[in-house]
A and B are shown apart, each in its own frame.
Chain A
Amino acid sequence: MSALVDRAITAAGLAPIAAARRAGDLAQVRALAKVLDTADLLAVGALADRIRKDESGDVVRIFANAHADLGPDVVAVSLADGTKSGHAVLRRVAIARITGPAAARVRIDWSESGLEVAQVALGFGASELVGPIANRRGLPIADAATLKVKGAGMVSAQALKKRELESLLTMAGRRAVFVSSKVGLEEQPNV
């Protein structure tokens, strides 16, 4: 975290809420949460990202099923109102991280937000992605589907998409773990 971002967090009036979070005083965090609705988006995101890194690390767990592996520590960011505002989506994610329980699993559904916004949300506090493994046009594809990929021969289309997801996460400075909805099995990235 750079000094520039530190200054931005302070300038946005977020130092008290950051201190309360560091002290583990969730009641105080939530009492101060109103400021998060209007503070500078990047400062709110930077604070959320710091909390995510400290409490949840860099691993991003990926689920094909939005209802998979739910638990008391899951904070699912609802976009059911169909907001078209990327700004609002990222603010919701950041607020979920800042005001959620310690080491929360902040989850965003890329079928609701769009993959691009979901990727950016990983820098605003999110640590889990859910959504169909899909081709580029957003349509679910069969597990067994294969594609001919230049320079790689015939590869599983689902694996290709996983590779794309992994690439997205690598670009976001994170590490992907795919979680099977059937048995909770965690897969390391395909390479």
Chain B
Amino acid sequence: MSDITLGTITSKVRAGERLSFDDGVALFRHPDLLAVGQLANEVRERLHGDRTYFNRNMRVEVTNVCVASCLFCSFAKLEEGSPGAVTMKLEEAWRELEVRMSDPPAEIHIVNGLHPGLPFSYYEELLKGFKRIKPDVHMKCFTAVEIHFFAQHYGMTHEQVLVRLREAGLGSLPGGGAEIFHPEVRTRISHDKATAEEYLEVHRVAHRLGMATNATMLYGHIETFEHRVDHLLRLRALQDESMSAPARLQAFIPLAFHPDGNGMKNLPAPTGIDDLRTLAVSRLMLDNVPHLKAYWVSMTPKIAQVGLRFGADDLDGTIVHETIYSAAGSTSPSGLKYDQLVRLIREAGRIPVERDTLYNVVREHAPEALPESAFKVKDRKAEKHLVVL
């Protein structure tokens, strides 16, 4: 893409004009990553200044038994009883929270396999049990793919499923399960679960019911840049529809594909440049979604931190115990301490803001001088080479 074209896109962004499909593809293909990052950073700072959000959350995966056979998944086991298959008893799941009540999470994030043998009441009791232990905990549970599975499996509408789960304590929906919407990709990597239209419909219904949601995109496998932009535009269109609803998409989370232990293990691991470029283009294309997460579990804490200069304004949370990405070979830790998140954000020159799930501010930390200034180049003539200290 020529400089003039980037100039055209820059003019559109600064004028608040919506970017087109071709603009999005051009941004993915632009050779100057830092230029694309600069533009995304402009938008990020216009929306949020230096504020960077995170929360105290905890991941629980109560079952990895799953009827779907997604090629990218290293987490799911197809049948109960197969090696590695786990389904928690309700008491075991609740125990995950009970043992952390000295420093409790504000949010519990539950994502599971599509288990064909559990009654719907299992999920209702699961939520109710967590709320009994900590009544103010926010339950961000079950992807749109799971909600669609529940509707099919238990003979209900999406709305009926969501209403019953909300009565049991559900607060909002996480964004997982979106993968890549375009059928050229989706039919190849995840043919036997909710379609793009079904995923989007669950979110649409949730918004109509006043339930906030997030959305994701799994990138870095067999998809093209065109498929990525198509994905972003479908989410942007959904958000346009939901602007008149009582709730909408809160955050978009690009998820890097990790190849270990799954049906696409011949593909290369994700790259830092692709992570940063995808964040930046997402920020520029999704002009109606307020928050963009650099999910440190997916892209490592270091790249996620750099992502705070490429459009992202959120690092997710402490997470505590993550198993889905670790099963796929991610080298990220399974949890970060509160202070580590604050430090990562401060070292990026941003202001850490602890939030709740719905982006209400819990605590805004004071900005602090960058603690990275103690280095300089020293020319040691007696040595063979220069060292940066």
Contacts and interface: CB of A to CB of B under 8 A. Distances in A.
A150 B344 contact: no
B3 A2 contact: yes
B305 A85 contact: yes
B268 interface: yes
Contact of A74 (B33, B348, B385): B385
A90 B306 contact: yes
Interface residues of B, number: 55
B389 interface: yes
Interface string B272-302: 1111100000000000000000000001111
B388 A95 contact: yes
Nearest to A122: B273
Contacts of A74: 384-386
Contacts of A42: 34, 37-38, 41, 309
B335 interface: no
A182 interface: no
Contacts of B155: none
A17 interface: no
B388 A92 contact: yes
Interface residues on A, range: 35 or more
Given A71-B384, A117-B272, A123 B33 contact: yes
A187 interface: no
B386 A172 contact: no
B214 interface: no
A5 interface: yes
B377 A95 contact: yes
A186 to B, nearest CB: 19
A120 B384 contact: no
B266 interface: yes
A46 interface: yes
Interface stretch (B77-85, B96-104, B367-375): B367-375
Contacts of B19: none
A188 to B, nearest CB: 20
A3 interface: yes
Nearest to A120: B272
A38 B370 CA distance: 8
A109 interface: no
A4 B344 contact: no
Interface string A26-65: 0000100100011011110110010000000000000000
A119 interface: yes
A147 B266 CA distance: 10
A12 B260 CA distance: 41
Contact of B388 (A30, A78, A151): A78
Nearest to B299: A116
A70 B380 CA distance: 14
Given A75-B377, A84-B302, A70 B385 contact: yes
Interface in A74-96: 74-78, 83-92, 95-96
B67 interface: no
Contact of B271 (A72, A92, A95, A116): A116
A154 to B, nearest CB: 13
Contacts of A91: 372
Given A101-B386, A171-B271, A86 B372 contact: no
A5 B32 CA distance: 9
Which residue, A40, A86, A114, A172, has most C-beta atoms of chain B within 10 A? A86
Nearest to B32: A2
B150 to A, nearest CB: 35
A136 B269 contact: yes
A147 B22 CA distance: 40
A172 B273 contact: yes
B347 A116 contact: no
B187 interface: no
B351 to A, nearest CB: 14
A116 B275 contact: yes
B260 A137 contact: yes
A115 B37 CA distance: 20
A161 to B, nearest CB: 10
Given A70-B384, A87-B348, A138-B331, A164 B269 contact: yes
Contacts of A75: 377, 385-388
A94 B327 CA distance: 35
B375 A95 contact: yes
Contact of B377 (A86, A96, A151, A167): A96
15 contacts: A2-B3, A33-B376, A41-B348, A42-B41, A46-B34, A46-B35, A46-B38, A78-B389, A87-B347, A91-B372, A114-B331, A116-B302, A117-B300, A117-B303, A119-B273
Interface of B: 3, 6-7, 10, 31-35, 37-39, 41, 259-260, 266, 268-276, 299-306, 308-309, 329, 331, 340, 343-344, 347-349, 370, 372-373, 375-377, 384-389
Q: Which 4 A-B pairs have the closest CB atoms?
A: A86-B302, A116-B272, A150-B266, A74-B385
Given A38-B370, A42-B37, A113-B302, 18 more contacts: A1-B32, A4-B6, A38-B373, A46-B38, A74-B384, A75-B377, A75-B387, A86-B301, A87-B309, A87-B348, A95-B375, A95-B376, A101-B386, A117-B302, A120-B273, A137-B329, A168-B271, A171-B274
